[in-house]
Amino acid sequence: MTTPPNLKILLAFDFGLRRLGIATGNLLTKTAAPLTTLSVGPKLPWDRLNGLIEEWNPGQLIVGMPDPTRSGTIFKKASLFASNLEKRYDLPVARVDESLTSRAAESILRENRRLGIMRKRVRKEHIDSRAACLIAEQWISTELSERAID
C-alpha cells in the first residue's frame, strides 16, 4: 500500500540541459532548502528522480520555466519535463517563471562565500540547487498569498 503524498511537502526543479537543480519546500514552515543537483546526459536521470519522489513523498512538484522568447529550445524541453513529471508521478506540477533565478542564486552564494558562511568554492551544482530553492520560495510565497485572498 502506498502512502498518500504529503501535501505540505514539495520538490522544485531548476531544469537545465546539463544539470537539474532540486530543492525541497515545506508549506507548513513556509521554507525551502537546496537538496541536490543531478547531471543530465542524453536522458534524464529518472531512476534518481524516482528515488527522490519516493523519499520525500511530495504533494506538489514545481518546475522553473525559462522565458520562451529568449530560449525556445530549453523552454520546450522544460515543458516536456514538466509534462513527464505529471504523467510519471500523478502529482500536480506547477510551472513557475524562473527568470534570473540562476543569477540570483549565484549572487547569494558568492556573498555567503565572501562572508565565510560558505567555505567551498561556488560551483555550478550549488547554483542550480539554490536556483531550485528560489523557485520553490517564489511558488510558496505566491501560493500562500493566493490562499489568503480566497
For residue 89, the domain's CATH number is 3.30.420.140
Q: Is residue 1 a part of any domain in this protein?
A: no
For the whole model, what pTM was predicted? 0.83
Q: What pLDDT, on a 0 to 100 scale, did the predictor assign at position 28?
A: 93
> What is the pLDDT at residue 147?
64
Look up residue 101 and give its three cell numbers. 533565478
Q: Is residue 121 assigned to a domain?
A: yes
- Please indicate, yes or no, if residue 57 is contained in any of the structural domains: yes
Asked if the structure places residue 108 within a domain, the reply is yes
CA atoms within 13 A on the CB side of 142: 11
DSSP string of 92-120, one letter each residue? -EEEEE-TTHHHHHHHHHHHHHHHTS--S
Range of the domain at 37: 6-149
Please, where are the H alpha helices in 22-123? 46-56, 72-89, 101-115
Residue 114: inside a domain, yes or no? yes
Name the domain count of the chain: 1
Domain assignment of residue 61, yes or no: yes
* Top-confidence residue, 22 or 142: 22
